[in-house]
Structure 1
Amino acid sequence: MRTEVEQGCKNMPMLPNPSAKYRAFPQVPLPDRQWPSQVITAPPRWLSTDLRDGNQSIIDPMDQAKKNRFFDLLVDIGVKEIEVGFPAAGQTEFDFISGLVKSGKVPEDVVIQVLTQSRADLIQRSFESLDGAHSAIVHLYNAVSPAWREIVFRMSREDVKNIAISGAQMLVDEAAKRPDTKWHFEYSPETFSTAELDFSLEVCEAVMKIVGPTKDWPIILNLPATVEAATPNIYADQIEFFCRNLPNREAAAISLHTHNDRGTGVAAAELGIMAGADRVEGCLFGNGERTGNCCLVTVALNMYTQGIDPGLDFSDIDRVIETVEYCNELPVHQRHPYGGDLVFTAFSGSHQDAIKKGFEAQEQRNDELWRVPYLPIDPADLGRDYEAVIRVNSQSGKGGFAWVLQQSQGLKLPKRLQADFSKHVQFMADDKGRELDADDIWQCFRHTYYLHVDQRRFRLIDYEESRASDGTRIFTGTVEVNGEEQRVSGRGNGLISSVAATMRETFGLDFEVTDYSEHALGSGVDARAAAYIEWAKPDGTTGWGVGLDVDVATAGIRALLSAANSVSHGPGTPHF
């Protein structure tokens, strides 16, 4: 049974006046802010915290096998700074980190990082886990905001600052005991985004005085939006204010650790880079506590679409997703930017038409600049093929199935043929009540235009062409009519017109060819050809015939007989 508290919470409505309970986050006093006019021109340093922040947020934390697999993935895609865990959290964490160091699998150009609270025993344990590392970052933190000082710790500002100072001194002392490792230090004034800026600066300056960083050996100052509490422009103001007012700024690398509580963790990180930050912490696909961390994939590929090499390789994004989903036991959402199964897929008819035309224009342009409507990035750059870009359901238009037929069969349907076929596809989609795949559409097309052998009234067996003394063309051939072979002949100005004359004079099919087109279905000596014929009857009825063959002339004749089947029986009925 529900408790009274639980029942009361469930029945509590949203407030008609939320200002009675909540307050707008205050602005930062920065009237001459510079970040809005800045442009990102180079990638930041990347720090993956998948193995720590991401790991502590999943229902079943990763075991050592999964952690090792995830670590290997991060190295493969080019992450150079990896937070591998919280060694003081338990023996499992400690053993993984210590084993990783001893395994020798950490490349020389990759620096591993561990996190610790500012407590003597935890700091010592963290250094012990890294014994033997060629280089490492020890990441020290303590919360500094008023809510934590007053509610959680019940400490003064001075008390909180002293916690940071004592922790920094221990970093220096423990590192001195292990001179064979190249040590780097990181300090986070946790809850920075909801703390007073002057106090964050005061604490960070005190830590820097203890550590003694230089331009060549900088400290990392991580400024987390531990709980995202304001719009991303305010976070950017906080970062710019901090960078402007930090003494000895050249001796510090400013790092960002944005959470996604308001849904703008990526935007906050991007604006923070514009405001002067040097480094971004986050997780692949944004895993993390509550609503997650900044998504490193999204930030990196956002840069890529602006012509910036992010230094991270997502050329096989499906392999990255497979590993992340396996290790986290969490799915990457189908609509997740760049990685989701459906992010490059259009079902809407107008979207499909624009994308199809965009690809056609892309092929015709001489320059390599990517300009395809609705696709901010070329799916091929991420290892995706084009077959899934357009998929067909009851919401789709003629551009959708035309794209599918072009990708799967090589057919480039004339626009009026697309319109003719669209009603059959729409009927099929409504009848099935589901998405249509390439085979559905192809079988529908074959039945509609009499490409199935068993449904044709007229079927070409063989033929020959000759020229009369008056210059006209003579078609002579064998046509199977309702299962019986029959020799036929006709004369016209060209091959197609001579076949049309044959069908008119022999079988009484009165129609005219109003349009004819053809194209190859590939290249090389084995290329097949497709031919399309639009026909019209004296009563105004119109339709289409389609022919396929290795020989383009024969494809044209097959298209004419397809038209004759349609004139004789009407469009073929697709079998659903």
Structure 2
Amino acid sequence: MSSNQDQTHRGDPPRSGREGKDRVVIFDTTLRDGEQCPGATMTFEEKLEVAELLDEMGVDIIEAGFPIASQGDFESVQEIARRSKNSVICGLARAQTKDIDVCADAIKPARQGRIHTFIGTSPLHRKYQMSIDEAEVLSRVTASVTRARSYTDNVEWSAMDATRTEVDFLCACVEAAIKAGATTVNIPDTVGYATPDEFAALIRTIIERVPNSDKAVFSTHCHNDLGLAVANSLAGVGAGARQVECAVNGLGERAGNAALEEIVMAIRTRGDAMPFWTGIDTTMLTRASRLVSRVTAFPVQYNKAIVGRNAFAHESGIHQDGVLKHAETFEIMTPESVGLKESSLVMGKHSGRHAFREKLKELGYELGDNAFEDAFVRFKALADRKKHVYDEDIEALVDQEIASAHDRIKVVALTVIAGTGGPQKATITLDIDGKQHTYESTGDGPVDATFRAIKAIVPHEARLPLYQVSAVTEGTDAQAEVIVRLEDGDKTVTGRGSDTDTMVASARAYVSALSKLLARGARRKPETMLSAG
């Protein structure tokens, strides 16, 4: 357990700790609500990797998934529950008996487990989504919480679309949930509709008007449709909520959730205005952000608060002068407080294994011997091609290595002919389960030709809704980072590739996405791959 948790066990009711400040429980929903973000689906192994880091960094409750949704979701929640060392592991369940039973089974191996059950309470949800009246909603609230309590004494109940629910009826639902045994009550702004003043007033009203409100911890779960998720969440805490539901990088449905890193650092930085504290090891925030970005292939915007590439960058001469004289002139928190180290240009073609390993540790990577050797070989090859190897280059390189470690398909060689004269042509060699296949194809541009060649070797029915290219660093020798998204029926996957050659990076990204798609059972199986020579 992290020393900064003042001996408070995770999932315990909030209490005063640091200098009399109230503790705010951090409930992370990256693996549940975050994964519902279109294109952000993670593999089983990736979910375990994210959960392990969340557990280590001090997250109180990890909402690991929606067990009834699929066998894969059930198994990942169960395995996360089995592996968790500190965090409470939570599963989501609708107000239905089967949902709750399956959820209870999934969280059973956890040292501490929680069932989170919910139902829509607003007029819109009652009429159009469920076609039931107020009396039936109240009946289902009581029945679902009672059922969940038969499995665990840690039960959370949520009023979906609470901010558009009549206050009197919402209070009645909250009272019923607590009476049935809910220990945490979540008041979500499901559609991101509320303003901070409105949301604070709602939390305050519920706590004051519900007779048994003192028997539960109140929680916020705010969406970012109007860009107010973090502001609403903090307003809710100011009004009496002591749990915040959030996600790394603000990942989530539509415009996303309240960003975990912003919630945590706002509370830490503005303790004068918000007398609260959390148990999060903030020096791991950047590492968590980069991990979630890598496994979901969702890039973090450069100017993203706390973890964006430019969050601690200064280009204005006035700002640079001020920071050089005294950092606090233009920085309200230190880069080190969120796990950033000052980038340097010390890595190059003469750097050895020891220096490379230390650099990886500094950047938050722990690789096994084989993975380290593979990454080192790629680093040396990159250093031969680039004048300066930046930290971002190494991160892109290692992320590529980790992402492709379990891929059955790998790019061996690629030759592209492009130009105004045409036709554009690509010849690619892929390694599929240890056997090499080569194909040559023409296309409308070098990228199209490359992807056509890959599709000829690995026939599939997926379409390409996203192809995105960005530079890892600046300069003409910068690595290109490519993100590819493939859709096949109801399956959506993303792949990421990096290289100083944009065409190679594109091929790697496409193959990475294709490997994930085939692993999930695309309409063409690996066994049907064609050998073109």
Which band: TM-score by shorter chain?
0.5 to 0.7
Cα shift readout 1:116-171 (whole Å, capped 9, x = no counterpart) = 00011211111122234332110110000011112222222112222212212322
The question of 1:198 aligning with 2:162 is answered: no
Aligned with residue 374 of structure 1, among 315, 321, 330: 330
The SS at the match of 1:236 is: helix
Q: CA deviation at 1:60?
A: 4.6
- State the partner residue of 2:403: none
Contact 1:40 1:273 in 2 (8 A): no
1:120 partner letter: T
The SS at the match of 2:281 is: coil
Aligned length: 325
Contact 1:269 1:280 in 2 (8 A): yes
Cα distance in 2, alignment partners of residues 387 and 150 from structure 1: 55
Q: CA deviation at 1:111?
A: 0.9
Q: CA deviation at 1:387?
A: 5.7
Cα distance in 2, alignment partners of residues 60 and 310 from structure 1: 27
Contact 2:261 2:285 in 1 (8 A): no
Q: Taking structure 1 as reference, are residues 76 and 245 closer, same or farther at Cα in structure 2, changes over 3 Å only?
A: same
The question of 1:295 aligning with 2:266 is answered: no
Q: Taking structure 1 as reference, are residues 252 and 197 closer, same or farther at Cα in structure 2, changes over 3 Å only?
A: same
Q: CA deviation at 1:237?
A: 0.6
- State the partner residue of 1:161: 138
Contact 1:43 1:303 in 2 (8 A): no
Q: CA deviation at 1:356?
A: 2.4
The question of 1:85 aligning with 2:65 is answered: yes
Aligned with residue 233 of structure 2, among 256, 262, 269: 269
Cα distance in 2, alignment partners of residues 376 and 129 from structure 1: 42
The SS at the match of 1:228 is: coil
- State the partner residue of 2:306: 338
Superposition pairs for residues 471-486 of structure 1, below 5 Å? Answer: none
2:188 partner letter: P
- State the partner residue of 2:249: 285
Cα distance in 2, alignment partners of residues 333 and 151 from structure 1: 36
2:178 partner letter: M
Contact 2:31 2:64 in 1 (8 A): yes
Q: CA deviation at 1:229?
A: 1.2
Cα shift readout 1:470-499 (whole Å, capped 9, x = no counterpart) = xxxxxxxxxxxxxxxxxxxxxxxxxxxxxx
Cα distance in 2, alignment partners of residues 45 and 113 from structure 1: 14
Aligned with residue 202 of structure 2, among 233, 238, 249: 238
Cα distance in 1, alignment partners of residues 143 and 22 from structure 2: 36
TM-score w.r.t. length of structure 1: 0.54
Percent identity of equivalent pairs: 27
Aligned with residue 288 of structure 2, among 317, 320, 329: 320
Q: Taking structure 1 as reference, are residues 303 and 120 closer, same or farther at Cα in structure 2, changes over 3 Å only?
A: same
The SS at the match of 1:114 is: strand
TM-score w.r.t. length of structure 2: 0.58
- State the partner residue of 2:421: none
Contact 2:185 2:218 in 1 (8 A): yes
1:343 partner letter: A
- State the partner residue of 2:32: 52
Cα distance in 2, alignment partners of residues 339 and 263 from structure 1: 17
The SS at the match of 1:273 is: helix
Aligned with residue 152 of structure 1, among 109, 125, 129: 129
Contact 1:135 1:183 in 2 (8 A): no
The SS at the match of 1:113 is: strand
Contact 1:204 1:221 in 2 (8 A): yes
- State the partner residue of 1:62: 42
Q: CA deviation at 1:234?
A: 0.6
Contact 2:28 2:61 in 1 (8 A): yes
Q: Taking structure 1 as reference, are residues 40 and 198 closer, same or farther at Cα in structure 2, changes over 3 Å only?
A: farther
Cα distance in 2, alignment partners of residues 131 and 316 from structure 1: 28
Superposition pairs for residues 135-146 of structure 1, below 5 Å? Answer: 135-146=112-123
The SS at the match of 2:98 is: helix
Cα distance in 2, alignment partners of residues 106 and 68 from structure 1: 10
1:354 partner letter: G
Q: Taking structure 1 as reference, are residues 318 and 128 closer, same or farther at Cα in structure 2, changes over 3 Å only?
A: closer
The SS at the match of 1:384 is: coil
- State the partner residue of 1:222: 186
Cα distance in 2, alignment partners of residues 249 and 293 from structure 1: 25
Gap regions ≥5 residues in structure 1 = 1-38, 176-181, 214-218, 360-371, 389-436, 440-576
Cα distance in 2, alignment partners of residues 295 and 42 from structure 1: 20
- State the partner residue of 1:183: 153
Cα distance in 2, alignment partners of residues 210 and 246 from structure 1: 14
Cα shift readout 1:2-57 (whole Å, capped 9, x = no counterpart) = xxxxxxxxxxxxxxxxxxxxxxxxxxxxxxxxxxxxx9944400110111110121
Cα distance in 2, alignment partners of residues 384 and 207 from structure 1: 43
Aligned with residue 56 of structure 2, among 76, 91, 103: 76
Q: Taking structure 1 as reference, are residues 201 and 151 closer, same or farther at Cα in structure 2, changes over 3 Å only?
A: same
Cα distance in 2, alignment partners of residues 86 and 438 from structure 1: 42
Cα shift readout 1:544-570 (whole Å, capped 9, x = no counterpart) = xxxxxxxxxxxxxxxxxxxxxxxxxxx
Contact 2:217 2:242 in 1 (8 A): yes
CA RMSD of aligned residues (A): 2.3
Cα distance in 2, alignment partners of residues 278 and 316 from structure 1: 22
The SS at the match of 1:277 is: coil
Q: Taking structure 1 as reference, are residues 348 and 143 closer, same or farther at Cα in structure 2, changes over 3 Å only?
A: same
Q: Taking structure 1 as reference, are residues 151 and 40 closer, same or farther at Cα in structure 2, changes over 3 Å only?
A: farther
Cα distance in 2, alignment partners of residues 163 and 332 from structure 1: 40
Q: CA deviation at 1:88?
A: 0.3
Indicate the structure (1 or 2) with the bigger Cα radius of gyration: 1
Cα shift readout 1:372-396 (whole Å, capped 9, x = no counterpart) = 12211111323334568xxxxxxxx
Cα distance in 1, alignment partners of residues 284 and 105 from structure 2: 37
Cα distance in 2, alignment partners of residues 263 and 67 from structure 1: 27
